[in-house]
Amino acid sequence: MSLMTEITIFVLAAFVGFEVISKVPTTLHTPLMSQTNAIHGIVMLGGLIVVGYANDPLEYVIGTIAIAFGAINIVGGFMVTDRMLGMFSKKPKPKAEAADGKGGGGK
């Protein structure tokens, strides 16, 4: 891919990012930050690629750590976002906890 093609992609992607995000309700700032955070975990792809042509022990170590870091970023990022957003989904929960406030205890 030529450098200019890459720069074209870069500029267009930048504008897509600007457009997609405009006017987000405050409520969704944190989940959305967390979701985009998970998406940049895509750097793990770089780790997969470089470890493929690694050829000395240090490069093996660096590459493996990079993959592990990237995987934490991806898996953790999407799961945490899902947990945050799960709070918004309607749950058909009966009033199960109505009783526990009565006595007032701590935890």
Partner 1 sequence: MIAEAVLKPGGDAATALYIVAFSLFILGVKRGTHPTTAKQGNLVAAVGMAVAVVTTLLLDGVGNWGLIALGLGIGTAVGVIASVRVKMTEMPQMVALYNGVGGGAVALIAWSEIRHGISLGETIPLDTLIPVLFAAVVGSVSFWGSNIAFAKLQDLIPTRPLAVPGQQVINVVLLIGILVACTDIAINNDDPSQAIFIAVLLAAGLLGNLVVLPIGGADMPVVISLLNAFTGLSAAAAGFALDNVALIVAGTLVGSSGTILTMEMATAMNRSVANVLFAGFGGAPAGGGGGSTEERPHVSIGAQDAAIKLAYADSVVIVPGYGLAVAQAQHAIKEVGDELEKRGVTVNYAIHPVAGRMPGHMNVLLAEADVPYEQLKEMEEINPEMPRTDVAVIVGANDVTNPAAKNDPDSPIAGMPIIEVDQAQQVIVIKRSLSPGFAGIDNDLFYEANTSMLFDDAKKAAADIAAEIQNL
Subset of 59-88 contacting partner 1 (CB under 8 A): 59-60, 62-88
Tell which positions 12-31 bind partner 1, by CB under 8 A.
13-18, 20-31
DSSP H helical segments within the chain, as ranges?
3-21, 29-39, 44-52, 57-71, 77-86
DSSP state of 22: S
Which tokens go with 4?
């200019």
Q: Does 98 bind partner 1 (CB under 8 A)?
A: yes
Residues 43-62: x where in contact with partner 1 by CB under 8 A, - otherwise, as a string: xxxxxxxxxxxxxx-xxx-x
